[in-house]
């Protein structure tokens, strides 16, 4: 079984490499997804049976301030992968990592796979565009999830009034592995079984000295406030 992972140096990528230890995981330099020729070349050389596409520009502020780059990576990059597989390796099973942030984030709505997306910011919009691109490829799964790596929170403070059915990156990778085993197609939500705030997530992750903040303290692009997901097509996972 030949598996190729994009975005393997990222937070999820590190966990994906543990879940799929024999996968080929080119770095950004080795395969820039915005370069169609580089994508074609890698796919021709490696002929993967499965491609897990986790590369993206993920910073909400970064995407908002660099729209051209965000579009190129998240929308056009996904198109390059889909086009390469369609042309060169049509039997490959493709997994696209999307996000709970494609939804509006209404309080305790617990969005399912059947709910209508309504992104709040440019990052989420480009991820949703990636989902639309994925419709060109039948043998594929779009996974929406929400996770953080274990360990120190990457910011000094965390929101007490933004929520989600979060998982740690290792849990999310396990969920992706389970979905991959069954070769599910269409949209699947990989959600945790309880709704917690980002601050509680930071504490659970083992962060030391992380401060509290609220949306009142925040200035920047619009945010998805409640990223809680439910699922009609899959099981839920315990965070831990
Ligand atoms: N973090 C979350 O809470 C969350 C939630 C739901 C869904 N997701 C999705 O899950 C996936 C992984 O997220 P993450 O948090 O692990 O992101 P991350 O830590 O920022 O990692 C992003 C990865 O993408 C790579 N990358 C960026 N631009 C690229 C390009 N042009 N060509 C090739 N590789 C490129 C990066 O490599 P370099 O660092 O070398 O540039 C890095 O390996 C993304 O698709 C994201 O949208 C994330």
**Domain residue spans of the chain:** 3-149+167-191
Q: Please tell me if the CB atom of residue 28 comes closer than 6 angstroms to any atom of ligand 1.
A: yes
Per-residue pLDDT of the chain (240 residues; tens, 9 = 90+): 899 999 999 999 999 999 999 999 999 999 999 999 999 999 999 999 999 999 999 999 999 999 999 999 999 999 999 999 999 999 999 999 999 999 999 999 999 999 999 999 999 999 999 999 999 999 999 999 999 999 999 999 999 999 999 999 999 999 999 999 999 999 999 999 999 999 999 999 999 899 999 999 999 999 999 999 999 999 999 998
What DSSP state is assigned to residue 5? E
- Choosing from 55, 150, 239 the residue with most ligand 1 atoms within 8 A of its CB, the one to mutate for a pocket test is 55
- 46 phi and psi angles, rounded to 5 deg: -100, -20
Query: Largest Cα–Cα distance of the chain, in whole Å?
Result: 51
CA–CA distance, 111 with 54 (Å, rounded to integer): 22
Q: How far is the centre of ligand 1, averaged over its atoms, from the C-alpha of 33 (Å)?
A: 11
Is 0.95 surpassed by the pTM of this model? Answer: yes
Report how far residue 233's alpha carbon sits from residue 130's, in angstroms, rounded to the nearest whole number.
21
Give residue 98's pLDDT: 98
Instruction: Give the pair of three-digit tokens for residue 134.
Output: 């994925």
User: 196 has which bridge partners?
Assistant: 164
Answer whether CATH 3.30.565.10 is correct for domain 3-149+167-191: no
| Segment (H or E) for 60 | helix 60-65
Ligand 1 pocket, 152 CB below 6 A? Answer: no
Binding site membership of 131 for ligand 1 (Cβ less than 6 Å): no
């Amino acid at each position: 079984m030949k598996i190729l992972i994009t975005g393997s140096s990222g937070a999820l990528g590190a966990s994906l490499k543990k879940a799929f230890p024999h996968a080929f995981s080119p770095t950004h330099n080795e395969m820039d997804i915005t370069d169609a020729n580089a994508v074609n070349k890698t796919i021709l050389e490696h002929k993967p049976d499965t491609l897990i596409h986790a590369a993206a520009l993920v910073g909400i502020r970064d995407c908002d301030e660099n729209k051209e780059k965000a579009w190129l990576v998240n929308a056009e990059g996904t198109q390059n992968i889909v086009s390469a597989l369609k042309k060169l390796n049509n039997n490959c099973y493709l997994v696209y990592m999307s996000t709970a942030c494609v939804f509006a984030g209404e309080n305790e709505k617990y969005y399912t796979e059947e709910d209508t997306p309504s992104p709040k910011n440019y990052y989420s919009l480009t991820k949703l565009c990636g989902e639309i691109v994925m419709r060109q490829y039948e043998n594929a799964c779009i996974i929406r999830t929400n996770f953080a790596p274990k360990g120190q929170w990457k910011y000094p403070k965390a929101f007490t009034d933004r929520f989600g059915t979060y998982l740690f990156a290792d849990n999310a990778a396990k969920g992706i592995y389970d979905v991959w085993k069954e070769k599910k197609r269409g949209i699947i939500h990989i959600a945790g079984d309880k709704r917690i705030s980002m601050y509680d997530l930071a504490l659970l992750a083992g962060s030391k000295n992380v401060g509290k903040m609220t949306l009142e303290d925040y200035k920047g692009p619009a945010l998805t406030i409640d990223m809680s997901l439910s699922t009609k097509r899959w099981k839920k996972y315990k965070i831990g």
